[in-house]
Structure 1
Amino acid sequence: MSMATDETPSGAAATARRILDANAYLTLATADASGRPWATPVWFAVRDLREFVWVSRPARRHSANIAARAEIALTVYDSTTPVGEASAVYAEALAEPVPDDGVEDALDVYNAGCRASGLRPWAEGSVTGAAPHRLYRAVASHLWVLDEREDRVEVF
């Protein structure tokens, strides 16, 4: 079974933090204006268990879906765990391209994740102006982790 999760809010939050710190990719689930679903992995950084930041191209299907419908779901899971020992974070969130006045702050979050992973940080000019990439963020309204019975335990 999965690692035991203290079902108190602080225990579930600690489990969520451990999972998020140990994994580099989240699976982003979006839908277009007509409801057609799409899922894709993105490399991410997180702040305070609530704000997820990634870099993408606006023309990618998941980015176009976010432009049409801000409501998303995301999952971060450790695919290296044996069957029966699932370890995952689930969230419902609203996503958007980071507005111009938020780029510096979001880039700080993203670059902190880059540095922690030994990756080069991104320059602001790499996600603004004529650059092909943009920063995106999702702010979670609900977050869950799995407990030892593989039931979802609410963090918030």
Structure 2
Amino acid sequence: MNEDLARAIIDGNSYLTLATADTDGRPWATPVWFAHDRYTDFLWLSRPTTRHSANIAARPEVAIVVFDSTVPINQGRAVYVEAVADGVPAAEVEGALRVFSARSVADGGGDYPTQPAGFRLYRARAVTHYVLDEHDSRVRVDLG
């Protein structure tokens, strides 16, 4: 089932590729370590001054790809996500940090009871998820 495949890919990887664009449409892609909440909210910490953060502030529509880059050629699988991103609102930071911290600790990282100085917790909320079928065509999956 494609939904199970998408969940396994998201659960099995620590980094996503975040694609953003500035107000003029200039693209930028960057890897970020992430945690997810119910496969629809992707969370990461970044400095608000980074290029991708500035792009999100100007243009919140983003694209995400989660994939394992270590597999042999022609065995790659990925989840493609269309999403809307922004900083996590202050009223939701505590809960989002619990999700982020749980995955960080599980991966051998630190606990985040608060946002580190100079950083902000960001969230990309998925609009649509896709995986590739056996013909290399994108197939929409419902993870919501």
Residues 78 and 87, structure 1, Cα contact 8 Å, conserved in 2: yes
What are the residue-to-residue correspondences of 1:140-151 with 2, within 5 Å?
Answer: 140-151=126-137
Q: Deviations over 1:65-91 (max 9, x none)?
A: 000000000001110111111110000
Q: Deviations over 1:105-150 (max 9, x none)?
A: 1101111211221211112152xxxx10110000000001122332
Matched with 1:20 is 10
Residues 31 and 37, structure 1, Cα contact 8 Å, conserved in 2: yes
Matched with 1:5 is none
How many Å separate the matches in 2 of 1:47 and 1:90?
Answer: 16
Q: 2:105 aligns with which of 98, 104, 115?
A: 115
How many Å separate the matches in 2 of 1:35 and 1:60?
Answer: 17
Matched with 2:67 is 77
Q: More deviation in 58-67 or 109-118?
A: 109-118
Residues 86 and 150, structure 1, Cα contact 8 Å, conserved in 2: no
- 5+ residue gaps, structure 2: none
User: Residue 25 of structure 1: CA displacement?
Assistant: 0.5
How many Å separate the matches in 2 of 1:92 and 1:44?
Answer: 16
How many Å separate the matches in 2 of 1:72 and 1:56?
Answer: 15
- 5+ residue gaps, structure 1: 1-10
The number of equivalent residue pairs is 142
Task: Give the structure-2-normalised TM-score.
Answer: 0.94
Q: 2:118 aligns with which of 128, 132, 138?
A: 132
Residues 98 and 113, structure 2, Cα contact 8 Å, conserved in 1: no
Q: More deviation in 102-111 or 57-66?
A: 102-111
What are the residue-to-residue correspondences of 1:28-67 with 2, within 5 Å?
Answer: 28-67=18-57
Q: RMSD value over aligned CA atoms? A: 1.1
Poorly superposed stretches of 4+, deviation over 6 Å: none
Q: Which has the larger radius of gyration?
A: 1
Identity %: 53
How many Å separate the matches in 2 of 1:121 and 1:147?
Answer: 38
Task: Give the structure-1-normalised TM-score.
Answer: 0.87
Q: 1:97 aligns with which of 87, 90, 94?
A: 87
Residues 105 and 111, structure 2, Cα contact 8 Å, conserved in 1: yes
